[in-house]
């Protein structure tokens, strides 16, 4: 699974390839349906940028299992920029769109979807953002990768892969919807480390 170090002196390791990501998402989709005892009241909200395409893919997979579900009507995007606790520490970030499904989130079971769970601060911001938008019946968390190093009492309900990492390493998720690597769309999870 090890690929040669790039010329910049960064050691890259592919930990999830396209098929692995697809299998993990299929399993998470089934877990979500199982935990919810069906697709009733389900809303999937992806956190930009890569959480949104993941939420869309999960919605597709849920619709493949339960044909009564319209994947476009249960997936949405939740921007958390304005709720971050580190706004003042960085140059100003532009907020992105929040798009809720037409049914809204009141009394729904909202599954937050993100690519990497790390400190937990993004999820804390997402919980605050949700509270301003409505009152879900329950909120769950699905992530593609949990890399540890939590700084807040937050855990994921559905995890694609647990990746023990050092905080020096960087976990990068590349999705066909958001990332072009060398001109081609790829789906992979990579761990980068300076050699």
Partner 1 sequence: MKHLLSTHDLSARNALRLLDVAEEMAAVGDREIKKLPALRGRTVVNLFFEDSTRTRISFEAAAKRLSADVINFAAKGSSVSKGESLKDTAQTLEAMSADAVVIRHPASGAPARLAASGWIDAAVVNAGDGTHEHPTQALLDAFTLRRHWARVGGTPSAGTDLTGMKVLIVGDVLHSRVARSNVWLLTTLGAEVLLAGPPTLLPIGVGAWPCTVHYDLDDALAQRPDAVMMLRLQAERMNAAFFPSTREYSRRWGFDDGRLALLDALGLDDTVVMHPGPMNRGLEISSAAADSPRSTVLAQVRNGVSVRMAALYLLLAGDPHDDVPEQHDLPALIPEGRTP
Binding site for partner 1 (CB under 8 A): 48-49, 52-53, 72, 75-77, 79, 81-83, 87-101, 128, 132-134, 177-179
Specify the 3-state DSSP secondary structure of 29. Answer: helix
User: Residue 149 or 152: which CB sits closer to partner 1?
Assistant: 152
Ramachandran angles phi, psi of 64, nearest 5°: -65, -30
Work out how close the CB of 49 gets to partner 1 at its nearest, in angstroms, rounded to a whole number: 5
CA distance 185 to 104: 32
**Quick one: 16 exposed, middle or buried, by C-beta within 10 A (0-12, 13-18, 19+)?**
buried
Least spacing, CB of residue 185 vs partner 1, in Å = 11
Instruction: Give the nearest distance from C-beta 115 to partner 1 in angstroms.
Output: 13
Nearest in space to 1 (alpha carbons), one of 163, 149, 156: 163
CB of 103 to partner 1, least distance (A): 11
Q: How far is CA 186 from CA 13, 158, 161, 163, 191, in A?
A: 15, 23, 18, 20, 15
Kindly tell me which of 72 and 107 has the beta carbon lying closer to partner 1: 72
User: Which residue lies nearer to partner 1 by CB, 46 or 159?
Assistant: 46
CB of 2 to partner 1, least distance (A): 26
Residue appearing with tokens 């002196």: 9
- Contact between residue 108 and residue 75 where contact means Cβ atoms under 8 Å apart: no
């Amino acid at each position: 699974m090890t690929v040669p170090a790039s010329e910049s002196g960064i050691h890259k390791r592919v930990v999830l390839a396209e098929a692995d990501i697809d299998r993990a998402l299929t399993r998470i989709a089934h877990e979500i349906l199982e935990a919810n005892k069906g697709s009733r009241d389900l809303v999937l909200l992806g956190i930009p940028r890569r959480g949104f395409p993941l939420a869309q893919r999960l919605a597709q997979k849920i619709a493949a299992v339960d044909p009564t579900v319209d994947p476009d009507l249960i997936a949405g995007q939740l921007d958390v920029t304005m709720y971050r606790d580190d706004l003042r520490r960085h140059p100003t970030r532009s907020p992105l769109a929040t798009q809720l499904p037409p049914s809204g989130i009141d009394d729904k079971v909202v599954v937050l979807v993100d690519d990497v769970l790390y400190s937990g601060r993004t999820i804390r911001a997402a919980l605050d953002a949700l509270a301003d938008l409505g009152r879900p019946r329950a909120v769950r968390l699905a992530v593609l990768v949990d890399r540890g190093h939590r700084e807040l009492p937050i855990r994921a309900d559905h995890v694609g892969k647990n990746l023990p990492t050092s905080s020096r390493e960087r976990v990068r998720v590349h999705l066909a919807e958001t990332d072009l690597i060398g001109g081609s769309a790829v789906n992979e999870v990579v761990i980068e480390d300076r050699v």
